[in-house]
Amino acid sequence: MRLPWQLGQYFTPWGVASMMAQMTAGEKPEDTGQLIKVCDPACGSGVMLLAFAHHALFNWGEDTLIRLAVTGCDIDAYCARVMALQLVANCNIFNLKLGEVLVLRGDSLFPDKGMETIVHATAPTAPNVLPAQAPERLAALMDAAHAHPDVYQHELFAAA
């Protein structure tokens, strides 16, 4: 059995993820009738997206969660499934509703090559929801992964 760090995987601690969510979330978005989209193209176990949802709940209110669309993708099938499990379990345990949860397994740098949908769930009232692997959605995922054009996804968190 190989341990995560032997595979080059380093999971973000909750405290760091929480701080990053606070730094990036900004003010409460206006209700425009559209989903608030949050994407992590290398989601691992989903701690960054969970921290963002936690921040939204406690700083913007429960009514904002129903407008939150969370998309995560990881190249590791195990990690993608852990993220899906964590999001769905947390929503069920605390009786919370997200507008949309989409978890994909694949390489977000090349979403047109073998992308697998792990979970795609939406709230009944979620507006304008695209299919899980709609071309626009995969293009947005690839754009998020290419936010650092000089760095490959596999090197994003490598030690310098």
Is 70 exceeded by the pLDDT of residue 16? yes
Q: What is the pLDDT of residue 123?
A: 78
Burial of 152 (0-12, 13-18, 19+ CB in 10 A): exposed
Q: What is the pLDDT of residue 154?
A: 42
**HSE-up of residue 105 (Cα within 13 Å, Cβ side):** 14
Q: What is the pLDDT of residue 131?
A: 66
* Residue 30: DSSP 8-state: P
Token output for 31 = 């209700």
Token output for 66 = 């129903």
Token output for 71 = 């998309």
The per-residue pLDDT for range 57-94, each reduced to its tens digit, is 999 988 888 888 899 999 999 999 999 998 888 888 88
pTM of the model: 0.76
Q: What is the pLDDT of residue 2?
A: 56
Dist. CA 66–CA 68, nearest whole Å: 6
Average pLDDT over residues 43-62: 91
When comparing pLDDT for 144 and 116, which is higher?
116
